[in-house]
Amino acid sequence: MIDNYLLEELVTFKEYGTLAATAEHLMVTQPTVTRGMQKLEEELDVEIFDRQPNRISLTKTGELAAKEAQKVIDQNNSFIDTIQKYDYNHKNIRIGAVAPGPLMLLHHLDSKLPNQNIALVDKLLEPESVTEELLNHNYSLILTNQEIMTDKIESRYIGAEKLSVNLNQFTLLANKKSVSFDDLKGLSFIVISDIGIWKKITEDRIPDAKFLYQDQQEAFREITKYSDFPYFTTNISKLNRDRNFEDNDQVNVPISDEASNVDFYAAYLKTQKKNIIAVLQTMSDAWSKYLD
């Protein structure tokens, strides 16, 4: 078997074109590179270098060897990465989501979660990437709005998140028991930038609306506290320790459209079920207790 460092030397030489540049990039001496190239030719039993008095270059066979060497290096790196992620996810539970609400609930349940190494990834995922992220062992489980059932992945229903809008108490809409997306036509909303799947839902269904996105939670809190701009919350938002919505003059009004209710599922590799089942049960129980 050819040592990986010989393949790396070959690929680096193909990229940089000279012994000196190859040695500098790999942080070794030029004689070390020369010996490595000679050893590689011996092990392959072919000539892959064209040696001239003042110049060395790859032969056609050498070009092919460098191309194939890159594939082997990539495959080796992928092998190592996959094994390390697999091992990590059997010792730790890495959780992602396509919307902030389910993660907010998990933060709220921090002291009640099983005594395991749990990492909540606040950067939200796109729904279409969930399957790939799980198969690549990047997450132990992902909270998503899609039920996924394959030969390797299964999902479990956790609960529903329900969207509502906070409106100035002196507006006509604030006196209604519920409003539709059409009722909110043409309004300007203050919105946290990273709201995952809710961004497309609100933008697609509220005609002629303007969305003033805020990157910082602190700025969002200040604007909603001292302005009359409407803003969205959900049945999970009340669990957010950073906010006290009762301090504001806005009235919370449910949105009646079917699209304002989103079912969430915990998707995971079947091989991970034993590791994450306690987390799923804790989360499911809390959702039923606090949010339904």
Angle at 212 between CA 208 and CA 214, to 5 degrees: 155
Span 51-93, pLDDT tens digits: 888 889 999 999 999 999 999 999 999 888 888 888 887 788 9
* pLDDT of the residue at 255: 97
Q: What phi, psi does 191 have (nearest 5°)?
A: -140, 140
Span 102-159, pLDDT tens digits: 999 998 888 888 767 888 999 999 999 999 999 999 999 999 999 999 999 999 999 9
CA 37, 38, 42, 47 dihedral sign is positive
Helix (H) or strand (E) holding 179: none
Span 170-227, pLDDT tens digits: 899 999 999 999 999 999 999 999 999 999 999 999 999 999 999 988 888 888 888 8
> What domains can be seen in the chain, in order of their start residue?
4-87 (1.10.10.10), 89-159+263-291 (3.40.190.10), 160-261 (3.40.190.10)
| Neighbour count for residue 247 (Cβ, 10 Å) | 8
What pTM did the predictor assign? Answer: 0.76
At residue 231 the predicted structure's pLDDT band, cuts being 50, 70 and 90, is very high
Strands 188-192 and 210-214 come out as parallel
Span 274-284, pLDDT tens digits: 889 999 999 99
Query: Distance between CA atoms of 180 and 100, rounded to whole angstroms?
Result: 23
Question: DSSP of 188-251, one letter per residue?
Answer: EEEEES--THHHHHHHHHSTT-EEEEES-HHHHHHHHHHS---EEEETTGGG-TT--GGGSSEE
Q: Contact, 154 vs 135, CB < 8 A? A: no
